């Protein structure tokens, strides 16, 4: 399995995060990449740097004004008197009655869905390189590889066409799926992060040619709070190509595996010929977010379950924070996947 990782992504080192109204250290730290790389090595794999894919794959999924915002916001923010070191929105538009603003404070509110996506000096450059990893994984799979893994951070699945959120800036999985679809494939996204993939759902919600399935903790009690319900099935031409499989808070291995199996059946019924997997290791019982109680062995068996479906897979890293088991969890997933593939 080819593994794509870009060292430049570690220059994105967000500090700000608000937990139940209290500023705390941001969990989406560069140290995550080091722990994931250790797991990649333990699985016997060697990462390679992806080529630059340029702007086109990003623009296929995100709006021009959003890409411009991500690229220019930090410098514009720093020019404000008394600005904080990172761009954090403090206003939100009421979208039904709002017009697109000119200044960076208003634009931050427009393009940031919550306070969990602070933009620092190197955020855009890092997000672009993370997306390069996803594009390289998609291209490897389109070129005949059975699987490829994009060690992408910052993650992406909470970002829609032009609204960031939940540590995510560019939607790496959507960029990969769109590239595969444009290349003539029939992709499905299977999102097994503990959080619903609301950004990916929004991007493909009206699309009949890309299936989106998400297995996650019930949004009534967990981020992203407002979407991810079972009744959201797509709209217009995309009706029937979105499926949400929410699980109750604290779900265990058995419930998670059962939902993943249902997700894989859904992908098969859709007739997908390639899978984009949004892999979130924040399902683990030791993850600081506490949404599910999945064991390391459960993550390993999920890898085997997904490999056994027999589709080529572009694996895109999403969440999974600085719990003690992050290294073992990625090694377990990749080991389980490779073991079942052989
Ligand atoms: Zn997550």
Tens digits of residue pLDDT in 183-207: 999 999 999 999 999 999 999 999 9
- For residue 1, what pLDDT is reported? 97
Instruction: Look at residue 79 and tell me if it is in a domain.
Output: no
Which residues, listed in sequence order, are joined to residue 2 by a DSSP beta bridge? 148
Structural domain contains residue 324: yes
- Determine the Cα–Cα distance for residues 2 and 182; give it in Å rounded to an integer: 22
Asked if residue 108 has pLDDT above 90, the reply is yes
- According to DSSP, the β-strands at 211-217 and 313-317 are unpaired
- CB neighbour list of residue 234: distance below 8 Å, 6 or more residues apart: 205, 206, 240, 241, 242
**Residue 32 confidence (pLDDT):** 94
Q: Assess if residue 220 is contained within a domain.
A: yes
In a domain, 86, yes or no: no
d(CA 319, ligand 1 centre) in Å: 4
Question: CA-CA distance, 69 to 71, in Å (whole number)?
Answer: 5
Q: How far is CA 178 from CA 15, 127, 190, 215, 229, in A?
A: 31, 17, 14, 21, 24
242, 191 contact by CB (below 8 A) = no
- In this predicted model, what pLDDT tens digit does every residue of 114-144 receive, in sequence order? 999 999 999 999 999 999 999 999 999 999 9
pLDDT above 90: residue 96: no
- State pLDDT tens for residues 243-260: 999 999 999 999 999 999
Say how many Å lie between the CA of residue 301 and the centre of ligand 1. 19
| 288-314 tens-digit pLDDT | 888 999 999 999 999 999 999 999 999
Report whether pLDDT(10) > 80. yes
Least confident of 13-22, 67-76, 114-123, 198-207: 13-22
Q: Residue 155 Cα, ligand 1 centroid: separation in angstroms?
A: 9
Q: Choose, from 62, 158, 196, 216, the residue flagged as catalytic.
A: 158
What pLDDT is recorded for position 128?
98
What total number of domains does the chain contain?
1
Q: Give yes or no: 157 in active site.
A: no
Is position 128 within any domain?
A: yes
| CATH number, residue 335 | 3.40.800.20
At residue 322, the pLDDT reads 79
When pLDDT is cut at 50, 70 and 90, the band that residue 318 belongs to is very high
Q: Is the pLDDT of residue 85 over 90?
A: yes
The average pLDDT across 153-169 equals 98
Whether residue 6 lies inside any domain: the answer is yes
Dist. CA 250 → ligand 1 center (Å): 14
Nearest Cα neighbor of 173 from 156, 185, 161, 187 is 156
> Can you read off the two tokens belonging to residue 314?
């572009």
165: helix, strand or coil? strand
Give the structural domain span for 177. Answer: 2-56+122-341
Q: 224 CA distance to ligand 1 centroid (A)? A: 9
Per DSSP bridges, beta strands 22-23 and 18-19 are antiparallel
Instruction: Using the mean position of ligand 1's atoms as its centre, give its distance from the Cα of residue 237 in Å.
Output: 28
Average pLDDT score over residue span 33-41: 97
Tokens matching residue 38? 């250790």
- pLDDT band at residue 324 under the 50/70/90 scheme: confident
Section 41-65 average pLDDT: 98
Q: Is there a domain that residue 276 lies in?
A: yes
For residue 342, pLDDT beyond 90: no
Strand segments, DSSP code E, in the chain are: 2-4, 18-19, 22-23, 47-48, 147-150, 187-191, 211-217, 242-247, 274-279, 313-317
User: What pLDDT does residue 176 have?
Assistant: 98
312 within some domain: yes
Mean pLDDT of 145-170: 98
- Of 271, 280, 131, 275, the residue nearest 198 (C-alpha): 280
The proportion of the chain whose per-residue pLDDT surpasses 90, expressed as a percent, equals 94
Q: From its phi and psi, is residue 5 left (phi > 0), alpha (psi between -120 and 50) or beta?
A: beta
């Amino acid at each position: 399995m080819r593994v794509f990782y870009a060292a430049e992504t570690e220059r994105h080192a967000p500090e700000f995060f608000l937990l139940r109204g209290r500023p705390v250290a941001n969990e989406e730290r560069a140290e995550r990449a080091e722990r994931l790389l250790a797991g990649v090595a333990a699985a016997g794999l060697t990462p390679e740097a992806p080529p630059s894919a340029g702007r086109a794959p990003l623009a296929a999924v995100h709006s021009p004004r959003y890409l411009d915002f991500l690229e220019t916001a930090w410098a514009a923010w720093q020019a404000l008197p008394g600005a904080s070191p990172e761009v954090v929105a403090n206003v939100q538009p009421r979208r039904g009655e709002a017009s697109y603003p000119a200044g960076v404070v208003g634009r931050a509110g427009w393009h940031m869905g919550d306070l969990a996506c602070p933009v620092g000096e190197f955020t855009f450059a890092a997000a672009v390189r993370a997306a390069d990893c996803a594009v390289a994984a998609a291209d490897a799979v389109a070129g005949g590889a059975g699987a490829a893994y994009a060690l992408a951070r910052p993650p992406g699945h909470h970002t829609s066409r032009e609204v960031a959120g939940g540590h995510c800036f560019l939607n790496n999985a959507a960029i990969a799926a769109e590239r595969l679809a444009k290349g003539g494939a029939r992709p499905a996204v299977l999102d097994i992060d503990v959080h619903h993939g609301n950004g990916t759902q929004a991007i493909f919600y009206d699309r009949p040619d890309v299936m989106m399935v998400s297995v996650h903790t019930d949004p009534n009690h967990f981020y992203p709070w407002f979407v991810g319900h079972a009744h959201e099935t797509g709209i217009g031409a995309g009706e029937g190509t979105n499926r949400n499989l929410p699980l109750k808070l604290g779900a265990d291995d058995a419930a998670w595996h059962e939902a993943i199996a249902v997700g894989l059946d859904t992908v098969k019924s859709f007739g997908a010929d390639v899978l984009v997997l949004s892999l979130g290791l924040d399902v683990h019982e030791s993850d600081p977010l506490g949404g599910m109680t999945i064991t390391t062995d459960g993550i390993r068996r999920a890898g085997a379950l997904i490999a056994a479906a027999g589709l080529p897979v572009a694996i895109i890293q999403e969440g999974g924070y600085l719990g003690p088991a992050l290294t073992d969890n990625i090694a377990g997933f990749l080991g389980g996947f490779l073991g079942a593939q052989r």
